[in-house]
Amino acid sequence: MEKRKKQKMTAAQRRLLLGAIFLMATSAIGPAFLTQTTIFTEKYLASFAFAILVSIIIDIGAQLNVWRVLTVTGKRGQVIANEVMPGLGTVISILIVLGGLAFNIGNVAGAGLGFNALLGMDVKVGAIITGIVAILVFSSRHAQKAMDIVTQVLGISMILIVAFVMFKVNPPYAEAATKMVLPDNPFALVMPIITIVGGTVGGYITFAGAHRLIHAGMTGKENLPFITKAANTGIVTTGVMRMLLFLAVLGVVSTGVKLNPDNPPASVFYHALGDIGPRIFGLVLLAAAMSSVIGAAYTSASFLKGFHPWFLKHNNIVVILFIVISTTIFSFVGKPVELLVLAGAFNGLILPVSLTAILIASRKKSIVGDYEHPKWIFWLGVFAVIVTIFAGLFSIQSMAEYFG
């Protein structure tokens, strides 16, 4: 029965499926994703494969719970949180919007750096061009379709480029496969696991794909096979990108090369491809940052819909204003490091709270009706909450250390 449904999937449904997958995946694959993966690979070498594997399992636990509960009920994350505890959804919305705005400033900055590496363009000019392109996407009469297509093109481009670099450097595949299940020091990998989980499903990213499906009306129990496939594929897509980048970096550092600490990812591309390497990295950074700008703006704006009907009616205008504000702040102030640190703390704190609310909602018939939430997904979600509580504690600690 489920197979027949898959065979009868329309072109519009396929586009929506890929749109939700790549919106979530490319939202996670931003400038910080590239830098963190590179730094952790240089430090832990092949054993970092274990951290990637564990993070994918945790990410699936978080996303399956969020995507299934939200889309079965047809309610956005903040609405469900308010039904679990009045006012909780409002608090989560404020945190996500503030964190999303701060991260979007960083994403705009990353895109500007991408233009600079690729074309030698001034960083602020590149950031403004990024903002204009993102605004044009949401100014289209078919903004949702345009967003789906743009995120797919950027996501696939990043994967293909990094895959090419990986094959070029010929990393030690067998060692990486072994260390994926038998790392040298598993306990030393706790911090990198927590860090990359927070970056993959923290803050607004957790809700990006589910809110996209709700916006398109893909809700209800009858669509669960479609929803589950989208959630799993989105996480796996992010995991594939991280694994390809990990192997590309491993292929360089395993030869004894020391990466430039000022820009580790660009250093990898330089050692792999020569003088053209940093320009190719600029293209990857530009694609990662621009897709994250689109994802952060779209999802953050979706959390404003519950505050007033105007936000619901004029969603595209809200998204455009979000992009304009992000771009303007970066253009006039420069890279706001303090905001990015605060945003990281928000991300670490939001996921355990929001995911706990979703888990509670999955057991309340007043919210999910006669839907029976699978126990294994529930307990995988509980595991994800425990891990992300530690992420929140680390975020608070790092923020306290930063502001001294």
Q: Tell me the per-residue pLDDT of 126-168, one tens digit each, with 9 for 90 and over.
A: 989 999 998 988 887 777 778 888 888 888 899 999 999 999 9
pLDDT level of residue 339 (50, 70, 90 thresholds): low
pLDDT of residue 3: 43
- The letter for the amino acid at 17 is L
pLDDT of residue 4: 40
Mean of pLDDT values over 336-356: 67
Q: Say if CB 35 and CB 225 are below 8 A apart.
A: no
pLDDT level of residue 83 (50, 70, 90 thresholds): very high
Tell me the C-alpha to C-alpha distance, in Å, between residue 280 and each of 29, 131, 208, 274.
17, 21, 28, 10
Mean of pLDDT values over 212-218: 83
Mean of pLDDT values over 329-357: 70
Instruction: Specify the higher pLDDT residue, 169 or 29.
Output: 169
Instruction: Locate 349 and state its tokens.
Output: 């704190």
What does the angle CA 48 – CA 53 – CA 55 come to, to the nearest 5 degrees? 95
CA distance 26 to 34: 12
pLDDT level of residue 398 (50, 70, 90 thresholds): low
Q: Return the closest-CA partner of residue 285 out of 271, 258, 267.
A: 267
Mean of pLDDT values over 230-236: 83
Q: Return the closest-CA partner of residue 16 out of 209, 163, 155, 184.
A: 209
Mean of pLDDT values over 293-307: 82
Q: Say if CB 213 and CB 231 are below 8 A apart.
A: no
Q: Return the closest-CA partner of residue 114 out of 269, 246, 252.
A: 269
CA distance 300 to 203: 9
Is the pLDDT assigned to residue 26 strictly greater than 50? yes
Q: Say if CB 80 and CB 73 are below 8 A apart.
A: yes
Is the pLDDT assigned to residue 95 strictly greater than 60? yes
